[in-house]
Structure 1
Amino acid sequence: MCMTGFGSANAQAKRLHDAVERNDLAALRALIADQVSLNERDGQGRTPLLLATQNNRVEAARLLIEAGADVNAKDAVSDSAYLLAGARGYNEILQLTLTHGADLKSVNRYGGTALIPACERGHVQTVRLLIAAGVDVNQINRLGWTCLLEAVILGDGGARHLAIVGQLIAAKADLNLADAQGVTALQHARQKGQSAVATLLQEAGAR
């Protein structure tokens, strides 16, 4: 992979990105030991840690995080290692970011926290981790959707999304926050034929 756009970054910083790209842990350890800057960007604005996260390279990410890489540094499309790990359900990397300073209030390019795409994509364990960490279950993104609304509107109503709705109910999410058109999660569930989700919401007091 060709790495361009490093600006003032030196050759060692480029080698750090290359080592992550190759998943060459020995080279990565050596560069970290040489105190190479961990947060230099490539042409897409990615730090080595974000590159490792994109490829779900857990050990590379662990080495970088434990050496002090910024888990909140964002690329050109507003992804950070923390946000991306949450969105993709890369739970080992996510847990590392959570224990090394993840900004729970940081948002992606859609104005949503890590919890919103995790709910949408049915990442049950990821949602559990993020709720336990204290991410706001009622945060609203630029589409006017909460994590509950995304779980229903973009979910399939199956077992994973049903479990996530249950987690959000247990976390005291506001079940009646409506979208920009005034439609609630329960109403969306009914419209989409998600009968199990609708029943769960209704029994929990949703309108």
Structure 2
Amino acid sequence: RALDAGADIEARGDGGMTPLVAATKANRVDAARLLIEAGADVNAKDDIQDSAYLYAGARGHDEILRMTLAHGADLRSTNRFGGTALIPASERGLLPTVEILLEAGVDPDHINNLGWTALHEAIVLGDGSARYVEVLRTLLDGGADATIRDGDGMLPVDLAAARGYDAIVAELRR
């Protein structure tokens, strides 16, 4: 009704959020769908550099993520840490989201402000569980380069070995 009455679809509220960013952060799929179909900018960022696309990818809101991808999400867009949506998805072990983002063409080797790729974050901030082994395998199968060193010069295999993540070490060595 608000849109029909002429409300600004890109109006800014608390924290600089657009209605679409607010709907995405609340995982309100129907509201996000309505806003996207009405032409909301899926790349508009709030005051902390979250867009609907970036936040949906970072939090595993896959239904909204797919909608943003279908409506012009900028795959090279970065969050406040200089990371693409793939990096926090990998950090959180969100395998379906990682698969969606890789299929969409997100660069698996993008390096964020911390000097980490998605591989580094999945190792350093993950827990080494089977879920993270699958994320690592998916990243590698999606073209991630296991020879990229982090900002301290460490290889992903060295980071995994230092944490005792034997299954991840084996995956990286394959």
TM range (shorter): over 0.9
Match of 1:104 among 51, 75, 92: 75
Aligned to 2:90: 119
- Which structure 2 residues correspond to residues 1-207 of structure 1 after superposition, within 5 A? 30-203=1-174
Q: TM-score, normalised by structure 2?
A: 0.98
SS at match of 1:95: helix
Shift of 1:35: 3.3
Alpha-carbon distance in 1 for matches of 2:19, 2:58: 18
What amino acid is the match of 1:184?
Answer: L
What amino acid is the match of 1:149?
Answer: H
Shift of 1:140: 0.1
Alpha-carbon distance in 2 for matches of 1:34, 1:201: 55
Shift of 1:32: 2.0
What amino acid is the match of 1:38?
Answer: I
Alpha-carbon distance in 1 for matches of 2:14, 2:172: 45
What amino acid is the match of 1:37?
Answer: D
Shift of 1:100: 0.5
Shift of 1:31: 1.5
What amino acid is the match of 2:124?
Answer: I
Alpha-carbon distance in 1 for matches of 2:144, 2:92: 18
SS at match of 1:186: helix
Highest RCO, 1 vs 2 (Cα 8 Å, sep ≥ 6): 2
Shift of 1:36: 1.8
SS at match of 2:84: coil
Structure 1 residue runs of 5 or longer lacking an equivalent are 1-29
What amino acid is the match of 2:27?
Answer: N
Alpha-carbon distance in 1 for matches of 2:137, 2:115: 21
Structure 2 residue runs of 5 or longer lacking an equivalent are none
The root-mean-square deviation of aligned C-alpha atoms, in Å, is: 0.7
Paired residues in the alignment total 174
Alpha-carbon distance in 1 for matches of 2:18, 2:102: 27
Rg bigger for which structure? Answer: 1
Alpha-carbon distance in 2 for matches of 1:129, 1:166: 14
Alpha-carbon distance in 1 for matches of 2:91, 2:121: 5
CA deviations 1:28-86 (Å, max 9, x no partner) are xx122233210010131000000001110000000000000011000010000000000
SS at match of 1:44: helix
